[in-house]
């Protein structure tokens, strides 16, 4: 399973007018097969596709959404900024405020310039390094991605010191020859190169948290050696923190590892979900940049006030709400939840994590630290797992080599969703049935489409593992609020049903607010009515009302009383629901 009929139709249109139907290649699902989901909305930790299916999102727009989708404070700040003007092409106070925040938080960052993407940021930082040193050559590491500038789309050749070769059509070989590619996690080759040829090398660029080709966490000793040897050679050290900057912590990987680079690049989180990049470093280096120096860089939308507002609001919320500590707690909870599942998996599997960034390495041995240590079989193992999770309402990246991300919107319930879905996916792998299934329209797999029914028996552990509901029978719903994936019940005529995602979401909202709840048939009546499972329209309407009423203050007791008092019957749209 990949896409429903609406997503498939939109993608068919897209392929006629856009290369591959996408604006960035990994979105095309070529690495996992199938047709991509077309998303239409996101809220908190969940997204909804064009067919009305909801998923717990662990992609988070590839990292920027550290607060989750559409956080109200950020959305309100964006809306307010837009009313003042969408673009000026002139200095604004908010870009100064964001620059002041970044330089106060990141080690060694004295000045910063804003651009509109991570690619622009890394390209510009390298230009500054070349202009400041008067040298042309740069060093990058295999397995690190720094955007699609020509001199960075380079793969390693053979030999002791590998001179780059283009890894993309359209990149002149002469550009690539100025780039040297080294392996990660190899101090000896790094030291040998820099001591022999360091005086010809402008900069070494590295993702200090390599997260574009797996999550290749580096030993602190390797990063310290890199800092020592570049300083010895007079070569500038550039940390590409487009992913890790202000995600792994307030001061990014530089603060985490206690290493100060000469230049650094940023993106993703600092834009709060809008297109933003930045590069900066020591004042004496940034003085080479126009209009002060001879290194030219410009951009029409650089420092766009709306994007600056989104980024600054996001960072202030993280600061105010102790966001990075909370994300570490969520990451630790994810690790604790998934490790037993991965340990028991029928294929080699382990979790690699730093803060709110994680990756499932589906291979044996120690977690890889270099690109050539990633087993080719890992991608084949990931493909069916990805689709099995998607069938169960879990959205991971459509590539075995892309990292996952957590946000402040992810709750223990969302982590439990991933844990349980992953266990079920591996259970299917054990009996040889792990494959791409289909998901009923309008509902998550594990349920049925709204307005339909599915029969089950009490002894069926796949559907009744978490609990069973009879008319008049007590339902205990507590502990794991994600149990809605396998919750089942019996309607008035005795037919057993598996709850779809949205119907069960109603129970989840109710149950989460009263803890260890005992629901009797009056509340079962409120969810089902007498005749059948609820209609999709009715459930959508109630979920909207519940969210509006509940989310501003999760502690309000009126929320539960109102739901009980109205006694919704889901055969038609409930009264009073917009």
Q: Is residue 124 part of a domain?
A: yes
Asked if 183 and 81 sit in the same domain, the reply is yes
Mean pLDDT to the nearest integer, 443-470: 29
Which alpha helices (DSSP H) does 431-550 contain, by range?
461-464, 501-514, 521-528, 536-550
Asked if 400 and 487 sit in the same domain, the reply is no
The confidence score (pLDDT) of residue 171 equals: 79
Question: pLDDT tens-digit profile of 524-537?
Answer: 334 434 334 444 45
Pair of tokens at residue 282: 């020591």
Q: Is the pLDDT of residue 542 over 90?
A: no
- Catalytic site residue 428? no
Which residues fall within 8 angstroms of residue 292, CB to CB, at 6 or more apart? none
Selected catalytic residue, list 106, 140, 268, 420: 268
Q: Is residue 446 part of a domain?
A: no
| Angle ∠(307,311,312) on CA atoms, nearest 5 | 115
How far CA 134 is from CA of 124, 126, 146, 294, in Å, comes to 15, 12, 22, 12
Last residue of a domain, one of 277, 296, 320: 320
Q: Is residue 158 part of a domain?
A: yes
Pair of tokens at residue 335: 């690790």
The confidence score (pLDDT) of residue 168 equals: 76
Mean pLDDT to the nearest integer, 69-83: 97
Asked if 557 and 519 sit in the same domain, the reply is yes
Q: Is the pLDDT of residue 230 over 80?
A: yes
Q: Is residue 447 part of a domain?
A: no
Q: Is the pLDDT of residue 324 over 60?
A: yes
Asked if 263 and 347 sit in the same domain, the reply is no
Selected catalytic residue, list 51, 57, 185, 240: 240
Q: Is the pLDDT of residue 416 over 60?
A: yes
Q: Is the pLDDT of residue 387 over 90?
A: yes
Write down the pTM of the prediction: 0.76
The confidence score (pLDDT) of residue 19 equals: 95
Pair of tokens at residue 498: 């598996």
How far CA 458 is from CA of 33, 344, 427, in Å, comes to 36, 26, 20
Pair of tokens at residue 151: 């001199």
The confidence score (pLDDT) of residue 154 equals: 78
Asked if 335 and 311 sit in the same domain, the reply is no
Last residue of a domain, one of 320, 336, 369: 320
Q: Is residue 576 part of a domain?
A: no
The confidence score (pLDDT) of residue 115 equals: 98
The confidence score (pLDDT) of residue 277 equals: 98
**What count of Cα atoms within 13 Å lies in the side-chain half-sphere of residue 475?**
27
- Catalytic site residue 268? yes
Confidence of residue 572 (pLDDT cuts 50, 70, 90): very low
Q: Give the three-state DSSP class for 177.
A: coil
The confidence score (pLDDT) of residue 101 equals: 98
Asked if 268 and 302 sit in the same domain, the reply is yes
Asked if 92 and 202 sit in the same domain, the reply is yes
Total count of domains within the chain: 3
Question: pLDDT tens-digit profile of 492-501?
Answer: 444 433 344 4
Asked if 254 and 361 sit in the same domain, the reply is no
% of the chain at pLDDT higher than 70 = 72
Question: pLDDT tens-digit profile of 36-68?
Answer: 999 999 999 999 999 999 999 999 999 999 999
What is the average pLDDT value for the chain, to the nearest integer? 79
Q: Is residue 441 part of a domain?
A: no
Asked if 43 and 148 sit in the same domain, the reply is no
Asked if 493 and 547 sit in the same domain, the reply is yes
Greater model confidence, 486 or 217: 217
Q: Is the pLDDT of residue 502 over 70?
A: no
Q: Is the pLDDT of residue 304 over 90?
A: yes
Asked if 303 and 201 sit in the same domain, the reply is yes
* Structure letter (DSSP) for residue 12: H
The confidence score (pLDDT) of residue 199 equals: 96
Residues 318-332: b if buried by 16+ CB within 10 A, e if exposed: beeeebbeebbebbe
Given the DSSP bridges, would you call strands 357-361 and 404-405 parallel, antiparallel or unpaired?
antiparallel
The confidence score (pLDDT) of residue 217 equals: 97
For tokens 């909207």, what's the residue? 544
For tokens 């978490």, what's the residue? 466
Confidence of residue 149 (pLDDT cuts 50, 70, 90): confident
Greater model confidence, 35 or 177: 35
Strands annotated E in 10-136: 39-43, 46-49, 54-57, 111-115
Q: Which domain holds residue 110?
A: 72-320
Which alpha helices (DSSP H) does 277-322 contain, by range?
283-286, 305-320
Q: Is residue 230 part of a domain?
A: yes
Q: Give the three-state DSSP class for 89.
A: coil
Asked if 421 and 500 sit in the same domain, the reply is no
Confidence of residue 428 (pLDDT cuts 50, 70, 90): confident
Strands annotated E in 30-78: 39-43, 46-49, 54-57
Q: Is the pLDDT of residue 161 over 70?
A: no
Q: Is the pLDDT of residue 143 over 70?
A: yes
Last residue of a domain, one of 378, 412, 430: 430
The confidence score (pLDDT) of residue 541 equals: 54
Q: Is residue 450 part of a domain?
A: no
- Least confident range from 36-40, 119-123, 300-304, 555-559: namely 555-559
CB atoms near residue 517 (< 10 Å): 16
The CATH number for 17's domain is 3.90.1150.10
The confidence score (pLDDT) of residue 520 equals: 32
Mean pLDDT to the nearest integer, 404-409: 97
- Catalytic site residue 240? yes
């Amino acid at each position: 399973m990949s896409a429903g009929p609406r997503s498939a139709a939109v993608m068919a249109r897209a392929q006629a007018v856009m290369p591959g139907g996408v604006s960035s290649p990994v979105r095309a699902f070529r690495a996992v097969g199938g047709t991509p989901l077309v998303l239409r909305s996101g809220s908190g930790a969940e997204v909804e596709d064009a067919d009305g299916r909801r998923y717990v999102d662990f992609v988070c727009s590839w990292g920027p959404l550290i607060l989750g989708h559409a956080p109200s404070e950020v959305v309100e700040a964006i809306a307010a900024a837009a009313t003042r003007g969408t673009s000026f092409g002139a200095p604004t106070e908010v870009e100064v405020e964001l620059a002041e925040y970044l330089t106060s938080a990141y080690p060694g960052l004295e000045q910063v310039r804003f651009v509109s993407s991570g690619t622009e940021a890394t390209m510009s930082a390298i230009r500054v390094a070349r202009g400041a040193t008067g040298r042309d050559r740069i060093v990058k590491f295999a397995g690190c991605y720094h955007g699609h500038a020509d001199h960075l789309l380079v793969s390693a050749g053979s030999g002791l010191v590998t001179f780059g070769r283009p890894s993309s059509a359209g990149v002149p070989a002469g550009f690539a020859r100025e780039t040297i590619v080294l392996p990660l996690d190899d101090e000896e080759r790094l030291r040998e190169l820099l001591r022999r040829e360091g005086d010809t090398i402008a900069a070494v660029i590295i993702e200090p948290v390599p997260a574009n080709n797996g999550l290749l966490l580096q030993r602190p000793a390797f990063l310290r050696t890199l800092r020592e040897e570049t300083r010895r050679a007079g070569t500038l050290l550039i940390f590409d923190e487009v992913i890790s900057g202000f995600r792994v912590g307030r001061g990014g990987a530089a603060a985490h590892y206690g290493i100060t680079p000469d230049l650094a690049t940023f993106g993703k989180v600092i834009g709060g979900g809008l297109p933003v990049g930045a590069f900066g470093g020591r004042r004496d280096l940034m003085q080479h940049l126009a209009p002060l120096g001879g290194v030219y860089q410009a951009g029409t939308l650089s420092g766009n006030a709306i994007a600056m507002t989104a980024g600054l609001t996001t960072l202030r919320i993280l600061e105010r709400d102790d966001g990075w500590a909370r994300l570490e707690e969520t990451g630790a909870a994810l690790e604790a939840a998934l490790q037993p599942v991965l340990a028991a998996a029928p294929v080699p599997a382990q979790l690699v994590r730093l803060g709110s960034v994680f990756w499932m390495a589906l291979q044996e041995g120690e977690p890889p630290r270099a690109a050539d240590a990633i087993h080719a079989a890992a991608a084949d193992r990931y493909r069916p797992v990805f689709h099995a999770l998607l069938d169960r309402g879990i959205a991971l990246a459509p590539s075995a080599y892309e990292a996952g991300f957590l946000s402040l919107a992810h709750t223990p319930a969302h982590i439990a969703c991933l844990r349980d879905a992953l266990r079920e996916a591996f259970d299917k792998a054990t009996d040889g049935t792990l494959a791409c299934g289909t998901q009923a329209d309008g509902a998550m797999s594990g349920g049925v489409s709204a307005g339909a029914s599915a029969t089950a028996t009490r002894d069926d552990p796949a559907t009744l593992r978490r609990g069973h509901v009879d008319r008049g029978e007590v339902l205990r719903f507590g502990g794991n609020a994600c149990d809605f994936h396998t919750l089942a019940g019996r309607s008035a005529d005795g037919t057993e049903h598996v709850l779809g995602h949205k119907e069960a979401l109603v129970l989840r909202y109710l149950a989460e607010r009263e803890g260890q709840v005992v629901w009797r048939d009056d509340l079962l009546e409120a969810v089902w009515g007498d005749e059948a499972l609820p209609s999709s329209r009715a459930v959508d309407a109630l979920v909207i009302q519940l969210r509006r009423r509940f989310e501003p203050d999760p502690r309000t007791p009126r929320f539960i009383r109102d739901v009980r008092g109205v006694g919704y019957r889901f055969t038609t749209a409930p009264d009073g629901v917009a």
